[in-house]
Amino acid sequence: MYAIVEIAGHQFKVEKDQRVFVNRLSTEEGKKVSFDNVLLIEDGNNITLGAPAIDGAQVSAKVLKHLKGDKVIVFKKKRRKGYRVKNGHRQSLTEIVIEGITTSGAKKAAPKKETKKAEPKVEAKAAAPKVEKAAKKAAAPKATGKADDLKKIEGIGPKIASTLVEAGIASFSDLAKAKSEAISEIISSVRGNHVTDTWPAQAQLAADGKWDELKKWQDELDGGKA
């Protein structure tokens, strides 16, 4: 039996006891994890297709360790300009072992049922307006501030920009304060090799309004890599 399952944004063909390297997961080493987005299951001559996922199917696994993949060398050259850049990138990965494939009956909706069974319904309704007002007041400064166009940073595209915004990095000043390692962790689910070393420095120039200096530097960059 094998299954095709989506894990951390990628699709894998997995079997029981198979070891798989996936994009970094947040689960700690030694703990179990399950994946509900099962697209196909083959059991002998029986093949079940999802639309897109198979209802009740699940792949269970155990996290063995977190590691980094092999270094990928990226070399860029511009003719007649004497421009050569060589960079390396190591993707953050997690090694897991497949423990089982469930074809049906998996308790996929269990977390949702727990949230619905909140007993103090009356208290929740009474407190809801206060909580909503407090949330709006807390969010007001962020809502009034203008979000910057992070795509102006060399190496950041629409997908990465939206991923950073969802993680709370919505302005040049936010990006300038972030560490490149933390940025790499945030965008680890985005396809492609992304080197974030220069992004905070670029963002600082943008936050300071030094656009001419930033543009001059970006002419020498390739996808955010110095």
133 pLDDT higher than 90: no
Distance CA 180, CA 90 (A): 13
114 pLDDT higher than 60: no
Distance CA 132, CA 144 (A): 17
More confident residue, 196 or 105: 196
Task: With beta carbons less than 8 A apart as the criterion, state whether 180 and 196 touch.
Answer: yes
Q: Per-residue confidence at 146, pLDDT binned at 50, 70, 90? A: low
Average pLDDT value over all residues in the chain: 82
Terminal Cα-to-Cα distance of the chain (whole angstroms): 47
27 pLDDT higher than 90: yes
What average pLDDT does range 60-87 have in this prediction?
A: 92
The position carrying tokens 């915004």 is 165
Half-sphere exposure (CA, 13 Å, Cβ side) for 215? 4
